[in-house]
């Protein structure tokens, strides 16, 4: 195989109106993209990373681009499929199901697996998707049809569970009271749109609801918590980390990018556990549990965006990239 490549164009040229990908050069570098390699982009979005990988693996590399959002699948097909008829396959699927999907398509195992977690700019920008508290839309927030709309979730969730979701996924202080207010408003028919929810949060949000309340809009974290819950984002991320040894070929790499601490913790601990799964007491002279390392954590501290990239693309400010090499 040829040596690792770099991006063919300047990194910011992969941005489209749909989404501006983060850490593009770093993704190509840490995936170790080579001519002829086979790659899974588990979060295709607008196809920016997909395109960079296709270019960096020319002329023989192939990419399976996957997204649970049919709109993303349509976008990547429309934009890139004609350009790469032989080297690109685009599928609608959840990356938590990657082992099954790859097996069915005959693509397993791959040389590199990228996950660029979270939401795309398109999902946030489209009011009808219900992700944003800045525009009025339905209480939806589904990344794809495999998730449950927020409206339905609020109709069936118990107050105790909602309070736990707000506390755990949004670090909302006073989560019990917030959960009660949300469910009461829903029952009264006063909670139908993202604006209703945002207004309710603002009305009920003294600064004590969150330590960062002065610097961010009070609705940010409630929306984040509900989005994570209905899309079961952390569950799928855990499934993906655990599936790395099955999905990625020996010597191949997984590069996962996160945008908040809950995701990063799962990736960091998950990678560490794959590298060193032994759970024997530390005073035991030799491992007795028989757990076998699945590979190596390639970077101790996550890679973050340069000041220049963070300035051009504010979303890149919270991006953290970690890489794992399967043995
Ligand atoms: C940050 S965007 C990816 C942007 C993409 N890297 C690009 O260059 O445009 C995240 C994408 O991942 C998708 N996604 C999130 N969770 C997913 C999951 N569990 N399975 C498949 N796709 C997922 C979202 O629908 C969204 O399109």
C-alpha–C-alpha distance, residues 318 and 215, integer Å: 15
Closest atom, ligand 1, to C-alpha of 143: 25
Sign of CA dihedral 271, 275, 281, 283: negative
| Domains annotated on the chain, with CATH | 11-122+233-326 (3.40.50.150), 148-231 (1.10.150.170)
Q: Could you give the percent of the chain with pLDDT greater than 70?
A: 95
Distances (CA, A) of 324 to 3, 37, 88: 19, 17, 24
C-alpha pair distances (Å), 254 with each of 24, 28, 39, 45, 318: 15, 11, 10, 18, 20
Task: Give every CB contact of residue 5 below 8 A, 6+ residues apart in sequence.
Answer: 28, 33, 34, 35, 56, 57
Kindly state if the Cβ of 237 falls inside 6 Å of ligand 1: no
Residue 162 has pLDDT above 50, yes or no: yes
Please report the pLDDT score of residue 142 as a whole number: 98
CA of 299 to the centre of ligand 1 (A): 23
Atom of ligand 1 at shortest distance to CA of 240?
19
Cα 89 to Cα 13, 64, 111, 154, 278: the distances in Å are 22, 5, 16, 37, 38
Hey, what are 263's tokens? 């995701």
How confident is the model over 53-68, as pLDDT tens digits?
999 999 999 999 999 9
- The CA-to-CA distance between both ends of the chain, in Å, stands at 18
What confidence score (pLDDT) does residue 47 get?
98
Q: What is the pLDDT of residues 65-103, one digit of tens each?
A: 999 999 999 999 999 999 999 999 999 999 999 999 999
Q: Which two tokens stand for residue 165?
A: 């979701």
Instruction: Say what the pLDDT of residue 320 is.
Output: 98
Query: Cα(115) to centroid of ligand 1, in Å?
Result: 8
Neighbours of 301 (CB within 10 A): 7
CA of 188 to the centre of ligand 1 (A): 35
Is a pLDDT exceeding 80 seen at residue 211? Answer: no
Residue 304 has pLDDT above 60, yes or no: yes
Name which residue leads in pLDDT, 229 or 9.
Answer: 229
- Read off the tokens for 243: 């599936």
Q: What is the pLDDT of residue 206?
A: 60
> HEC profile for the chain?
CCCCCCCCCCHHHHCCCCCCCCCHHHHHHHHCCCCCCEEEECCCCCCHHHHHHHHHCCCCCEEEEEECCHHHHHHHHHHHHCCCCCCEEEEECCHHHHHHHHHHHCCCCEEEEEEECCCCHHHHHCHHHCCCCCCCCECCCCCCCCCCCHHHHHHHCCHHHHHHHHHHHHCCCCHHHHHHHHHHHHHCCCCCEHHHHHHHHHHHCCHHHCCCCCCCCCHHHHHHHHHHHHHCHHHHHHHHHHHHHHHEEEEEEEEEEECCHHHHHHHHHHHHHHHCCCCCCCCCCCCCCCCCCCEEECCCCCECCCHHHHHHCHHHHHCEEEEEEEC
Distance 119 CA to ligand 1 centre (A): 6
Percent of the chain residues topping a pLDDT of 90? 87
Atom of ligand 1 nearest to the CA of 114: 6
The pTM (predicted TM-score) of the whole model is 0.95
In this prediction, residue 213 has a pLDDT band, given cuts at 50, 70 and 90, of low
Token code pair at residue 277:
């799964």
Where residue 214 falls among pLDDT bands split at 50, 70, 90?
low
pLDDT in tens, 98-150: 999 999 999 999 999 999 999 999 999 999 999 999 999 999 999 999 999 99
| Residue 152 pLDDT grade (very low, low, confident, very high; cuts 50, 70, 90) | very high
Could you identify the residue written with the tokens 């049919």?
A: 70
Residue 207 has pLDDT above 60, yes or no: no
The neighbour count for residue 250, using CB atoms within 10 Å, is 11
Ligand 1 in reach of 69 Cβ (< 6 A): yes
Cα of 44 vs centre of ligand 1, distance in Å, is 6
Nearest CA to 68 out of 169, 138, 147, 152 is that of 147
pLDDT band at 1 (very low <50, low <70, confident <90, very high): very low
């Amino acid at each position: 195989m040829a040596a690792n490549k770099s991006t063919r164009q300047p990194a910011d040229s992969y941005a489209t109106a749909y989404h501006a990908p983060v850490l593009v050069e770093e993704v190509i570098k840490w995936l170790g993209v080579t001519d002829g390699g086979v790659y899974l982009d588990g979060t295709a979005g607008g196809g920016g990373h997909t395109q960079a990988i296709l270019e960096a693996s020319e002329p023989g590399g192939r990419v399976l681009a996957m997204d649970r959002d049919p709109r993303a699948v349509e976008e990547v097909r429309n934009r890139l499929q004609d350009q790469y008829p032989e080297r690109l396959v685009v599928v609608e699927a959840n990356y938590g199901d990657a082992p099954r999907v790859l097996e069915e398509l005959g693509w397993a195992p791959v040389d590199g697996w990228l996950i660029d977690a979270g939401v795309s700019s398109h999902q946030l920008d489209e009011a009808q998707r219900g992700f944003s508290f800045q525009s009025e839309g339905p209480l939806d927030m589904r990344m794809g049809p495999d998730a449950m709309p927020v409206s339905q979730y609020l109709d069936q969730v118990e107050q105790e569970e909602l309070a736990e979701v707000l506390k755990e996924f949004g670090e909302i202080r006073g989560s019990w009271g917030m959960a009660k207010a949300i469910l009461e408003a829903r029952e009264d028919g006063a909670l139908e749109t993202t604006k209703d929810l945002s207004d309710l949060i603002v009305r009920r949000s003294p600064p004590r609801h969150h330590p960062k309340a002065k610097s961010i809009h009070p609705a940010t974290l409630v929306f984040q918590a509900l989005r994570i819950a209905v899309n079961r984002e952390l569950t799928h991320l855990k499934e993906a980390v655990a599936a790395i040894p099955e999905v990625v070929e020996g010597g191949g790499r997984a590069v996962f990018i996160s945008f908040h601490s809950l995701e990063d913790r799962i990736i960091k601990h998950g990678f560490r556990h794959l590298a060193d799964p032994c759970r024997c007491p530390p005073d035991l002279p030799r491992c007795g549990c028989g757990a076998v390392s699945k590979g190596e954590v390639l970077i101790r501290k996550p890679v973050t965006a340069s000041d220049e990239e963070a300035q051009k693309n504010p979303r890149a400010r919270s991006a953290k990239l970690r890489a794992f090499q399967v043995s």
